[in-house]
Amino acid sequence: MTALRAPFTIPALRQAVFCVIGVVSAVAILAAPALVPALGALVLWATGGTSRQLAPAVAPLFLVLFPLTVALLVVLAAPIGRAAGNVHRRLAYRLLGVRVDAPPPRPSNRIGALVADGPGWRAVGYGLLKVPLAVPQGYGAFCYLFGVVDLSYPLWWPLFRNHPPGTRLGPVWALTPFGPLGARTFAGTFLISAAGLAMLLVAPWLMRAGTAADLAAMRWLLGPRRLAERVRELQASRARAIDDAATMMRRLERDLHDGAQVRLATLAMNLGMATEKLGAEGPPPDLAQARELVALAHRGAKEALVDLRDLVRGIHPPVLDNGLGDALATLATGSAVPVGTTVDLPERPAPAIETIAYFCAAELLANATKHSRASRVDLGVAGSGERLRLTVVDDGVGGADPEGPGLTGLTRRIAVVDGRMRVHSPAGGPTRVEIDLPTHA
């Protein structure tokens, strides 16, 4: 029964759509290699190479332009592969309900990174594999579509074959995988109809085989890197996390040593001196100096408190306990540049993520204040499901360098939780930095 029902289910229909798109993509991919000679011909034609009188400049020009075209294709292959891979992953999710995780993003948009983009080239590999994969898919889709058509032949027969008796007509042809089948009589259409039914029953299995192979290829070539690479990546990010923690502890020690500790030692010294000036009993031997020393100590105590408060805030801002919204609002009020904040979080992210997002926002805000000459900064946090996006936009002069020490520091920090950062900062501004974090590390 299941086998009989299989062709008439929604999944079968979706599979058919997937298979048809697969065939179209395969044809497009097959056409792509033709692009190189076509572009070459175009160049030749544009430079006048096809005219009878060859201009003396044509040959060298062609020699330069043709390799350039090939080089362009090499540079563009990986990004195009990535884009096409994205489309196919989305199709797999929409039509087949199978989620294939996205590969890690390209580290940067420089030419070197474009060409050396491993996931991009693997996506190109998927594109090439798509051609043989499309064969069973196309076969399945063909059986499915023409199965329906062939099955319905007896219905159409009376509509078109109502000529007066004795009229001689050619046979009606139907397409089957075994070649065209002709029918001259109403009874003959039932043979076609039977063939159609057989095709329809076989089609879901063919399509299933085609899509299953395709999905395996997607997981292999379009998914995140292979396990070994992922392990290397995790090792690197773990090493960075340990380094960062050690650096932070060292910085903390230094800050305490040079800040609060010195202030408190000096304060104790001043109080010690003041105590001596006040004497053990009786009238103080040097009241004026004692007063001065106490005043000094008082000031020192207040400074030590400020130092400690700044330090504590640097470790973990207490307001963060109330959530990212309050913390960012506090951060905004403390900024020299006007800051607008919008926080849209359906639920609270993990505390570690909140802390990372907060410090990223603080750092980016400090950058904007220091370097961008911005007159306004907008901080935005939006959450959707498992991801959280922090956006910092300023109207300053732009030119922020994603490879600079500040931003690479942030990248390192967020990489620990598989976060990603995108920087758009053309010279002249504005600057837009987006940071993508998981809501739970």
Partner 1 sequence: MRVVIAEDAAMMREGLVRLLTDRGFEVCAAVADAETLRSAVAAFEPDVAVVDIRMPPTHTDEGLRAAIDVRRDHPGVGVLVFSQYVETRYATRLLADRPTGVGYLLKDRVADVADFVDALTRVASGGTALDPEVVGHLMRAGRDTVGLASLTAREREVLSLMAEGRSNAGIAAALVITPGVVEKHVANIFAKLGLPPSEGDNRRVLAVLRHLGT
Omega prior to 430 cis, within 30 of 0: yes
According to DSSP, the β-strands at 377-384 and 339-344 are parallel
Binding piece for partner 1, criterion CB under 8 A, among 186-194, 204-212, 272-280, 365-373: 272-280
Alpha helices in 92-177 (DSSP H): 111-115, 118-151, 153-160
Q: Supply the DSSP string of 205-217, one letter for each residue.
A: HHHHHHHHHHHHH
Among the listed ranges 85-93, 106-114, 255-263, 362-370, the one in contact with partner 1 (CB under 8 A) is: 255-263
User: Which structure tokens are listed for 382?
Assistant: 């939006």
CB of 276 to partner 1, least distance (A): 5
Residue 310, interface with partner 1 (CB under 8 A)?
A: no
299 binds partner 1 (CB under 8 A): no
Site for partner 1 in 374-433 (CB under 8 A): none
Q: Does 122 bind partner 1 (CB under 8 A)?
A: no
Containing 410, the helix (H) or strand (E) segment is helix 405-415
Instruction: Map the footprint of partner 1 across residues 208-237, applying CB under 8 A.
Output: none
**Nearest to residue 186, comparing CAs of 199, 175, 172?**
172
Q: Which of 51, 109, 275, 384 binds partner 1 (CB under 8 A)?
A: 275
- Alpha-carbon Rg for the chain in angstroms: 36
**Residue 257 found at the interface with partner 1 (CB under 8 A):** yes
Q: Is 245 exposed, middle or buried (0-12, 13-18, 19+ CB in 10 A)?
A: exposed
Q: Which of 158, 272, 340, 404 binds partner 1 (CB under 8 A)?
A: 272
Binding status of residue 308 toward partner 1 by CB under 8 A:
no
Q: Which is nearer to partner 1, 307 or 394 (CB)?
A: 307
What's CA 324's distance to the chain center, in Å?
Answer: 23
Sign, CA torsion 250/256/258/259: positive
Least separation, in Å, of the C-beta of 277 and partner 1?
Answer: 9
Report the nearest approach of partner 1 to the CB of residue 312 (Å): 19
- List 17, 58, 215, 262, residue binding partner 1 (CB under 8 A): 262
Number of neighbouring beta carbons within 10 Å of residue 12: 18
How do strand 431-438 and strand 387-394 relate by DSSP bridges? antiparallel
Helix (H) / strand (E) containing 344: strand 339-344
Distance CA 131, CA 79 (A): 19
User: How many chain residues interact with partner 1 (CB under 8 A)?
Assistant: 17
Q: Which stretch binds partner 1 (CB under 8 A): 48-56, 93-101, 164-172, 252-260?
A: 252-260
Of the candidate residues 268, 287, 306, 315, the single one contacting partner 1 (CB under 8 A):
268
One residue of 24, 242, 265, 295 binding partner 1 per CB under 8 A? 265
Question: Is 271 a residue that touches partner 1 (CB under 8 A)?
Answer: yes
Q: What is the strand order of the sheet 420-424 is part of?
A: 339-344, 377-384, 387-394, 431-438, 420-424
Q: Would you say 243 or 258 has its CB closer to partner 1?
A: 258
Residue 107 C-beta: closest distance to partner 1, Å: 34
Nearest CB to partner 1, comparing residues 149 and 256: 256
| Binding-site member from 176, 261, 330, 369 for partner 1 (CB under 8 A) | 261
Rounded to the nearest whole angstrom, what is the least distance from the CB of residue 281 to partner 1 in the complex?
A: 16
Instruction: Give the residue with the Cβ less far from partner 1, 278 or 353.
Output: 278
Please give the distance of CA 109 from its chain centroid, rounded to a whole number. 13
C-alpha distance from residue 350 to each of 261, 347, 417 (Å)? 34, 10, 11
By CB under 8 A, tell whether 110 contacts partner 1. no
Which residues bind to partner 1, rule: CB under 8 A?
A: 254, 257-258, 261-263, 265-266, 268-273, 275-276, 300
